[in-house]
């Protein structure tokens, strides 16, 4: 017969393992303000592999997405912010909340989703430095509006 204390110990151990594995999947990104007054969603150096974990978490008022220094192998579909004011000019306007800078430097990207960067009306910087890119991965409609 198994002791009641042993059962409680195993239940606690299993709960701890589940909590720990859940924390590994949660990238713990956070929003900061940069020196230009833009909202940055900082997900750099989080050992992230899969963008699907992040899709519903990106705040609408963020203009800069920093996914540098992770383990992405595919440039995911990045959607324009729901808070983006498409009627407002992009230049020198920090209040329209459109995606301006997207940083994926120092990952392992070797392919793009077909609609990776569609409809990003104010995109100015796309950092793909230090990835595994070749000319073969660029499709004619990769950067279309």
**88 — pLDDT class (breaks 50, 70, 90):** confident
Query: Is residue 44 a contact partner of residue 103, using CB atoms and an 8 Å limit?
Result: yes
Tell me what the mean pLDDT of segment 72-92 comes to. Answer: 87
Task: Please give the residue that has the higher pLDDT: either 33 or 88.
Answer: 33
Exposed (0-12), middle (13-18) or buried (19+): which is 111, by Cβ within 10 Å? middle
**What pLDDT, on a 0 to 100 scale, did the predictor assign at position 23?**
46
User: In terms of pTM, does the model score above 0.75?
Assistant: yes
**What pLDDT, on a 0 to 100 scale, did the predictor assign at position 22?**
45
H-helix or E-strand containing 33? strand 30-33
Condensed to tens digits (0 to 9), the pLDDT of residues 107-128 reads: 999 998 878 888 888 999 999 9
Condensed to tens digits (0 to 9), the pLDDT of residues 11-59 reads: 666 756 655 554 455 558 999 999 999 999 999 999 999 898 888 899 9
What is the C-alpha separation between 60 and 67, in angstroms, rounded?
A: 16
**What pLDDT, on a 0 to 100 scale, did the predictor assign at position 68?**
98
How many angstroms from the chain centroid is the CA of residue 69? 11
The two structure tokens encoding residue 2: 């198994």
Task: Please give the residue that has the higher pLDDT: either 79 or 129.
Answer: 129
Superfamily classification of domain 28-137: Ribonuclease Inhibitor (3.80.10.10)
Tell me what the mean pLDDT of segment 83-108 comes to. Answer: 87
Report helix, strand and coil shares of the chain as percent, to nearest 5. 20, 15, 65
Q: So where are the chain's domains?
A: 28-137
From residue 88, alpha-carbon distances to 39, 99, 126 in Å are 17, 13, 21
């Amino acid at each position: 017969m198994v002791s009641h204390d042993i059962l409680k110990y195993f239940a606690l151990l299993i709960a701890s393992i589940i909590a720990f594995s859940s924390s590994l999947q949660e990238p713990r990104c956070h929003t900061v303000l940069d020196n230009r007054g833009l909202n940055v969603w900082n997900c750099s150096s989080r050992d992230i592999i899969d963008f699907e974990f992040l899709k519903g978490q990106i705040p609408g008022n963020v203009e800069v997405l920093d996914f540098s220094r992770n383990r992405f192998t595919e440039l995911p579909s990045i959607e324009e912010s729901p808070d983006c004011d498409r009627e407002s000019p992009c230049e020198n306007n920090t209040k329209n909340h459109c995606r301006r800078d997207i940083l994926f430097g120092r990952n392992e990207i070797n392919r793009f989703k077909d609609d990776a960067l569609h409809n990003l009306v104010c995109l100015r910087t796309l950092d793909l430095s230090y990835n595994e890119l070749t000319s073969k991965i660029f499709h004619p409609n990769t950067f279309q509006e």
